[in-house]
Structure 1
């Protein structure tokens, strides 16, 4: 049978007229389909033939045996793939825009999180001997209370170096707090001052720029007392362009120090950040083993295991600490251990400190590895949702490209060529999204730095393996996101396409429904998580903490007043705006001087438990100034000279000692370990429990001694003219001290304790918002596709009398079903995840039912708003236009 004219033209244009009967049959089916749908309008035929001619490079496939691999590509083929991919993307502008924006937001989020995570994981890994560098710490238990401290005994380091062959080097440093540093007539407050052993710069890879020991021939520095090494920034701060070597600085009451060198600034990814390094030999000698006084770092010799050194620590304790325990407690080490007490040393890799260490006396607040996991999971989820959007929209739009696939296959294109065609489109979209994502990162980076507390630069994405990694990841995302659409589209059978079976099958889309449900499971989970985090932070900030943190002003560095301190305090107390003043070296919020001591009830045997408790030194104005109440007894008073041997305890300490009426009971202090340091104190009052530590811990026992600590002053104020009061205080301060005037408010200091949680909450909220936005983009695209696919159906329904509301409900109900399924799945998962997060808080909220209801309502509202826009638009379309759409 002679083929019809249209089929004959196709044969002449794309192949041999003697094509097999099978192909001729396919062409006849193609002709019949076109005849039925578009008739014999000349313009449509010319358009169709023109479109088919564009596909000519793919119409004459080589035999399969010519392909060494189903994924072989030539430059010409790749160029044609990209050209056609670009034309298709331009042809479907709305879907392309949604895909690019969704992927760009997902990629930008991932890039920001990658910057954060890689920086956190890089801490202390730049040291040349990082794999052999460990920090010593103290682990033990006294009186049932665990002891885990980062500072250790001063003699530990030299003993390890002398007696243990595994140890190649030991270095120590002593952090003694804030100093007022003077140079000529200028005074500055420096908080990052440390005193280090002479080999500090040999152990830690912080290069020296000037002075003895610079360059490759690094030698010991800081061997002489009263010498300093300055960071590059501090050297410029004090000496400008002058050579700082040989210059002098005065460190508070410690006297004059001579500068002997300049080092590079300590990198940001280090667990300590010091600017001034003094010689360790300038510090006071402390040789007791039971006290913790310095940070000690150990470098192992190559080939040795830290486990072998750790195994020798019990014998070291027996050799060096047993005698001190005998002297202090009157019992042997064996008896000390038998009654449940322990004392020992441990070692942790320096690379683990930032993410895995939370010991007492940490140099700086460390991060937590759980946040690395949380943000990494968020990055994966956000990117997953963006990829799901791409897959959804690609498969959803497949009905519109089914004809193209059918024509290609009829004309001889093989499956592998079609796969490459659709993968090239996916990769092209991904790299376009990457360019947009880089622009988003550049714009968002300043805000992200402020939020995360870091100082990332955009150029970090272009350094080292970061850029190749980003490009490779984008390529993999393009292949992954486009894989299902590519294989799905390339598998169409021409006969099924021409009979309309593919088009009919797009309305079910079980995989697409699964992907949409997955998107909303993640989005709803993030919404619930954000609400729980914010509620917990609100609970912390508004919970009754046992003291009045409002209207309390803290003046810093009052120790610099020296002998003038008491007179200055009394002068401030006379101000009308000041209700009370206390010398508050110990504060329940922010930086404080709180210490520890061991206690034994009077009359207890030497073998009885020793209680190691937190200690404060306060004056008689401390409790009223901070609004701390008394549960029993009285406050300290100048009217009682015997208060020099009196103490106050909190309710938690009373419970720990087992006393219902503690007033009148007496306690022995252990002191520094020597018998002469033991003193007997009488309890004169019990203060109500108040939170003097983070709410991550339960209120611990606290013992308060009577004595002024002039580290800082706390003022309870009552005024509406805060600027005026601050000006008055500054004038009075400058009249007494040349130290810079500095202050803070107690409630702000309290809130800063939870700064990391606040940052997590803010980041969580932002990322939750991004996941919702990306999900809505995908839902919007699917709603647009659905409305287009059902245009004729909508027209018919309207002609038959359907209302706008019924049409909107018809188009929205399928999406709402998916959201409801997502709510059912997300609720238990989110409840479990947030319950685990709340376990880190000793005082926490209950996750109430209404949180899940509200999150569900928000998700449904967002879905309805997103879908309704397209649904209403389709419902309002003139039915005549709808019926003519095909």
Structure 2
């Protein structure tokens, strides 16, 4: 029986080649898009699940408030982890990751810049499930100046030789002996390090109020994280209270009475990638919102494809009415007819699945580049993916084919053979509802795409408070050591360079940054503590970046007292409540001892500039006068960029063997918003696919309508109706559906995109014309889609139209 169903189904599909092709293409596009999104979502949700102790592994973070400013830090004080392990029996283990930034790593012959170097505790490989290929987990990092390399790094530095026992030089940290080799860190992890050096190789700052190390705790089986959370006030009182007394000169009780506080939170390791957006994250994380968005897009696109299938099947059903009538007269029962039509539906979906897989394989390299992933064809057959695809295709075939199957099988043979079955086709409310749903999705995605691109354009063109164009960044100038000033002086002589500054912190890209505690007196004479962003700059920093001076002056070598001076931004002026900031004084908290506290005088106020992402409000900033040779910024003025770079590189190589590396400030600024750019591109692609698939559905409805109104069109033409009036008549109903879709989609899209914009501290207002343009675009596309069928029907010879009845 099933074999006969499939044979007849195949014959019917071949008989209607164009109709079948449209059906398969629409469904295949929907399935292919859904498969790509499923790969993306599955990978995002899998982060850190591979660790054997993932259900008991948590990252310790710090939150609080000081001076009215919220604190949300990913790293915590160095002593926090060991104290938790020592004081609470429910903690099975703790481990820390201490980050010192970029290193120039050397073997016997070459030097390389490595950005993924970390200093973990000796039990790191016992806590995290990163298999060791050489060495024992308990001992590889037990001694100072020992290092574990990933497999890729071991091959990079030592080729096919056994790396165990060989040495590498890590920047100024000296020689490190290789004691182990581990597998490359999986992609679906919230950190991606290549070199693991023993934490015992560095001198740690053993203070609770500093943010020194990323700290993780492993709980004993059966011990609840809520039990550990409940003990945090006790821990803070025992260890942090004395530090607060020493640093600020007040008790923990008085500290809390002023509205200030510190506390520790615990993040499940599997939540970090999608749900953590703290200060000083190890690397930029994704966002759970994008998982919801793309999951919804996958469902909607698949829904649109299924709706197409139903509409196209229904549109072609009128031509098969007599076939149904004859089958029933010859003895076919309803169940057999339902089985026949469902077989056709399932056959189409499996053919569409095959085409979809071909599309996915072809599109996978481009999708990887766009989504910044590394999916392979094997990902499609991994685990439950293949059974899931087959089951989903079967369900889609049964669901999408159910309405046409039951609709056709319900025809009465007498009505069909008498030619009165068309009355049953006049109730098109379901088809109209389905097409309207399609265009609600399409219009919403068009509006979403326009809003995303408007926001990105706003960010890239907003006045950021500094001039990011024509600024060349030279990396790793810290490797020059004492030669940094000489290198700066050599470059300053070049006519194509207007200004040069040695800069620890720049408004975009990798930088050295810090936070400091400051104390000020309020009107009542009480000391108020603030925790503010701070860094050291030289006198060339402000002019090199084109930052404006709002009040006072810039640092200058002509003023020896500037060693005890600071520049602050306008946000700091507002934070401190100063009306006349120039000449005001602030005192650093230091390490608590009187000799570590220093008083600084404000000599100038700079205009607010965006030194962090526009997801955040401009925060208060304090800039000290001094030297930080982490990197160098050059304000250039030349059209011969290649020639300038060659000259700078030659000057660099005359000073150091460190590889020459550079970037441009505007490129680094744009890279900050790379995730949003990817979202915008994906949105536009998915919106385009949704519109195309929806138009196939509209084409099916137009086909159905023209078939049903063939006699009416013939009569109208006999009575003198023009081609234009017939086209307008057939198009009017479709325009109504699109207008209804616009009314429904506009508030939905506004709500969704307004929620997305809330992640930005600086954002656009969604203009009315966005909705109008999306509606106009959709109406135009709809009219173009139905015009083919409408014009074809209007140009038909009325004699043939009436004879067909």
TM-score range, shorter chain: over 0.9
Aligned partner of 2:181 in structure 1 is 262
Aligned partner of 1:632 in structure 2 is 551
The higher radius of gyration belongs to 1
What displacement does 1:885 show?
4.1
Partners of 2:384 and 2:240 in 1: CA distance? 50
Is the 8 Å Cα contact of residues 598 and 670 (structure 1) preserved in structure 2? yes
Are positions 1:158 and 2:82 aligned together? yes
Aligned partner of 2:198 in structure 1 is 279
What displacement does 1:672 show?
3.7
Partners of 2:117 and 2:424 in 1: CA distance? 72
Say which of 73, 86, 91 aligns to 2:15.
91
Are positions 1:420 and 2:420 aligned together? no
Deviations 1:844-880 (A, max 9, x none): 1111111111111100000011111221222223334
SS at the partner of 2:422? helix
Is the 8 Å Cα contact of residues 140 and 147 (structure 2) preserved in structure 1? no
Partners of 2:654 and 2:218 in 1: CA distance? 50
Number of residue pairs aligned between Structure 1 and Structure 2:
805
Partners of 2:416 and 2:100 in 1: CA distance? 80
Is the 8 Å Cα contact of residues 582 and 602 (structure 2) preserved in structure 1? yes
Q: TM-score, normalised by structure 1?
A: 0.89
Aligned partner of 2:122 in structure 1 is 198
SS at the partner of 1:236? helix
Deviations 1:67-100 (A, max 9, x none): xxxxxxxxxx110111111111111222211111
Partners of 1:691 and 1:758 in 2: CA distance? 19
Are positions 1:434 and 2:358 aligned together? no
Is the 8 Å Cα contact of residues 396 and 506 (structure 1) preserved in structure 2? no
Going from structure 1 to structure 2, the CA distance change for 1:499 and 1:884 (only over 3 Å counts) comes to closer
Deviations 1:665-723 (A, max 9, x none): 00011134444322110000000111111111111111110012111110010111111
Partners of 1:380 and 1:123 in 2: CA distance? 23
SS at the partner of 1:736? coil
Partners of 1:879 and 1:748 in 2: CA distance? 64
The correspondence of residues 686-725 of structure 1 with structure 2, limited to 5 A, is 686-725=605-644
Is the 8 Å Cα contact of residues 589 and 693 (structure 1) preserved in structure 2? yes
Aligned partner of 2:716 in structure 1 is 797
Partners of 1:625 and 1:426 in 2: CA distance? 67
Is the 8 Å Cα contact of residues 139 and 146 (structure 1) preserved in structure 2? yes
Partners of 2:244 and 2:312 in 1: CA distance? 73
Are positions 1:142 and 2:51 aligned together? no
Aligned partner of 2:110 in structure 1 is 186
What displacement does 1:602 show?
4.9
The correspondence of residues 33-44 of structure 1 with structure 2, limited to 5 A, is none
Aligned partner of 1:529 in structure 2 is 448
Partners of 1:698 and 1:673 in 2: CA distance? 30
The correspondence of residues 180-329 of structure 1 with structure 2, limited to 5 A, is 180-211=104-135, 213=136, 218-329=137-248
Partners of 1:130 and 1:763 in 2: CA distance? 31
Aligned partner of 2:399 in structure 1 is 480
Is the 8 Å Cα contact of residues 335 and 607 (structure 1) preserved in structure 2? no
What displacement does 1:604 show?
7.7
SS at the partner of 2:26? helix
Partners of 1:303 and 1:623 in 2: CA distance? 56
What displacement does 1:884 show?
4.2
Residues 860-869 or 673-682, more deviating: 673-682
Aligned partner of 1:561 in structure 2 is 480
What displacement does 1:554 show?
0.5
Partners of 1:92 and 1:654 in 2: CA distance? 75
Aligned partner of 2:520 in structure 1 is 601
Unaligned runs of 5+ in 1: 1-76
The correspondence of residues 347-496 of structure 1 with structure 2, limited to 5 A, is 347-496=266-415
Q: TM-score, normalised by structure 2?
A: 0.98
Partners of 1:797 and 1:170 in 2: CA distance? 84
Partners of 1:790 and 1:672 in 2: CA distance? 87
Partners of 1:302 and 1:154 in 2: CA distance? 25
Going from structure 1 to structure 2, the CA distance change for 1:737 and 1:254 (only over 3 Å counts) comes to same
Aligned partner of 2:32 in structure 1 is 108
Is the 8 Å Cα contact of residues 327 and 675 (structure 1) preserved in structure 2? no
Aligned partner of 1:654 in structure 2 is 573
Is the 8 Å Cα contact of residues 504 and 631 (structure 2) preserved in structure 1? yes
Is the 8 Å Cα contact of residues 329 and 606 (structure 1) preserved in structure 2? no
SS at the partner of 1:136? strand
Deviations 1:624-659 (A, max 9, x none): 000000110000000011100100110110011111
Partners of 1:671 and 1:204 in 2: CA distance? 36
Aligned partner of 2:773 in structure 1 is 854
